[in-house]
Amino acid sequence: MLPFIRSDLAQFSAYKPHPSSDTNQAVDSSTHIDRLDTNESAEDLPPQLKAKLVWEYQELIENNRYPDGGHEELKNAIAAYVNESAHLSPSVFSAANISVGNGSDELIRSLLIASCLGGEGSILVAQPTFSMYGILAKTLGIPVVTVPRDETNFAIDLQAAQAAMETTQSPPIRVVFVVHPNSPTGNALTNPELAWLRSLPEHILVVIDEAYFEFSQTTLVGELAQHPNWVVLRTFSKAFRLAAHRVGYCIAHPDAIAILEKVRLPYNLTSFSLAAALLVMKNRQVLLESIPQTLAERTKLIQALRQNPALKVWDSAANFIFSRLQAHDSVSPSVDIKTIHQRLKASGTLVREINNGLRITVGTVEENVRTLKRMQAALASLECVSH
Ligand SMILES: *Cc1c(COP(=O)(O)O)cnc(C)c1O
């Protein structure tokens, strides 16, 4: 360890991004590599929109100039979309309710800096959930309190959560992070969970991450006015097909937005990313047309995977599904899930192995057919080994 580095950082490992190069060696060049491990959209922008973006880069973006650091045009477009998609009047949210980040990851970090830094607060998460809350908190020296979920439906253990709120000290819990619907498990917030969030006092920041809103079509933005301590996060990385551009946004009370604007870096988005985000907002209709097909493919994939008695497959409100091996005596589910994950990878399908299960992104029709075929083969080979 370098002697000038904060001592608590020694124990952390860096977030492992897409395992690109090593996986390409695992399969021969004729095999399709299906990247179903990060819940991106299966499709790039349609060619005419990609061409439009290229044109904007060519004609409008000056490489020698700093980007628009105020994001005003994009914020207006996002506010209009948020109102429209939640069936609210066009005046409910405006640019003053929006802050834009370099991915929602930046916004998560800004929220942590603004609320908990300097020993002022801990955060609460219910495991399993999106890993970045804990990772980012720890790199800032912010303690992470975890509570479990029900193993059958992944509902948050609300008794444990309430007890943690009441007993955690030095520092007390300042922020509760929930994903709606949750990753990796795909379940939306339940009525008891919502009632609990509504009951939290105003000195607790409630972060509702709606990264998969376009797939779930359920949102809590309509309740933000009654709860000035709630913020909603969204991203352009999933349904809007812009994972490469790193754009996320926060919807909140203008006072909370003002703080986020203070904390962020002045030019946190590149001119190209701003152009891409604005382009997808202007063309949202056409991009959102593909959502029903993704949802239909999700249903098909779940039903087909459930044909296999070795698998337990949960319902999902997002563009991915969560699956585990059915408990059975002769084998160890945790070892076997790793084997299945490796076999899928060797046959060209990348999925996320997480919390004793697999999180599988819903892909194109062709990709999903291959997922089923390769899953069948991986499970069959496991049967051979264990008997
Ligand atoms: C994918 C995802 C995000 C998006 O992060 P970006 O930094 O915007 O790419 C945020 N939250 C959750 C739960 C996600 O799954």
CATH number of the domain enclosing 193: 3.40.640.10
Same domain for 325 and 269? no
Q: How far apart are CA 222 and CA 10, in angstroms?
A: 42
Query: What is the whole-number distance in angstroms between the Cα of residue 105 and the centre of ligand 1?
Result: 7
Is residue 10 included in any domain, yes or no?
Answer: no
Pocket test for ligand 1, best of 130, 210, 242, 319 (most atoms within 8 A of CB): 130
pTM for this structure? 0.95
The backbone region for 134, taken as left when phi is positive above 0, alpha when psi lies in -120 to 50, beta otherwise, is alpha
Of 287, 302, 333, which marks where a domain is finished?
A: 287
Pocket test for ligand 1, best of 78, 105, 127, 320 (most atoms within 8 A of CB): 105
Name which of 319, 321, 387 is nearest 357 in CA terms: 321
Pocket test for ligand 1, best of 39, 104, 109 (most atoms within 8 A of CB): 104
Same domain for 302 and 276? no
> Is residue 330 scored above 70 in pLDDT?
no
Same domain for 235 and 174? yes
Name the residue range of residue 268's domain.
47-287
Is residue 6 included in any domain, yes or no?
Answer: no
> Is residue 106 scored above 60 in pLDDT?
yes
* Whether residue 183 has its Cβ less than 6 Å from ligand 1: yes
Can you list the alpha helix ranges (DSSP code H) found in 129-237? 132-139, 158-167, 191-199, 213-216
| DSSP character at residue 190 | P
Is residue 36 included in any domain, yes or no?
Answer: yes
Same domain for 246 and 218? yes
What is the model's pLDDT at position 16?
A: 72
* φ/ψ (deg, to 5) at 386: -90, -5
What is the model's pLDDT at position 18?
A: 65
Of 287, 319, 352, which marks where a domain is finished?
A: 287
Binned at pLDDT 50, 70 and 90, residue 115 comes out as very high
Q: Which residue has the higher pLDDT, 386 or 380?
A: 380
Is residue 12 included in any domain, yes or no?
Answer: no
Is residue 357 included in any domain, yes or no?
Answer: yes
Query: What is the whole-number distance in angstroms between the Cα of residue 137 and the centre of ligand 1?
Result: 16
What is the model's pLDDT at position 1?
A: 75
- What pLDDT, in 10s, does the model give residues 190-239? 999 999 999 999 999 999 999 999 999 999 999 999 999 999 999 999 99
Name which of 25, 56, 128 is nearest 275 in CA terms: 56
Same domain for 276 and 315? no
Query: What is the whole-number distance in angstroms between the Cα of residue 377 and the centre of ligand 1?
Result: 31
Stretch among 23-37, 133-147, 226-240, 299-313 having the lowest mean pLDDT: 23-37
Is residue 11 included in any domain, yes or no?
Answer: no
- What pLDDT, in 10s, does the model give residues 9-22? 888 877 777 655 44
Same domain for 266 and 367? no
Is residue 387 included in any domain, yes or no?
Answer: no
Same domain for 86 and 39? no
What is the model's pLDDT at position 116?
A: 98
Same domain for 259 and 305? no
Same domain for 300 and 191? no
What is the model's pLDDT at position 21?
A: 46
Q: What is the number of domains present in the chain?
A: 2
Same domain for 303 and 242? no
Q: What is the CATH number of the domain that holds 375?
A: 3.90.1150.10
Say what percent of the chain tops pLDDT 70.
Answer: 94
Is residue 5 included in any domain, yes or no?
Answer: no
Q: What is the mean pLDDT of residues 127-148?
A: 97
Same domain for 295 and 283? no
Binned at pLDDT 50, 70 and 90, residue 147 comes out as very high
What is the model's pLDDT at position 334?
A: 65
What is the model's pLDDT at position 118?
A: 94
Q: What is the mean pLDDT of residues 245-272?
A: 97
Of 245, 271, 287, which marks where a domain is finished?
A: 287
**CA-CA distances (angstroms) from residue 80 to 132, 178, 201, 236?**
28, 25, 30, 15
Residue 238 makes CB contacts below 8 A (sequence gap 6+) with: 39, 40, 41, 211, 212, 214, 215, 319
Q: What is the mean pLDDT of residues 139-155?
A: 97
Binned at pLDDT 50, 70 and 90, residue 114 comes out as very high
What is the model's pLDDT at position 2?
A: 86
* Whether residue 107 has its Cβ less than 6 Å from ligand 1: no
* Whether residue 237 has its Cβ less than 6 Å from ligand 1: yes
Same domain for 175 and 313? no
Stretch among 97-106, 213-222, 323-332, 345-354 having the lowest mean pLDDT: 323-332
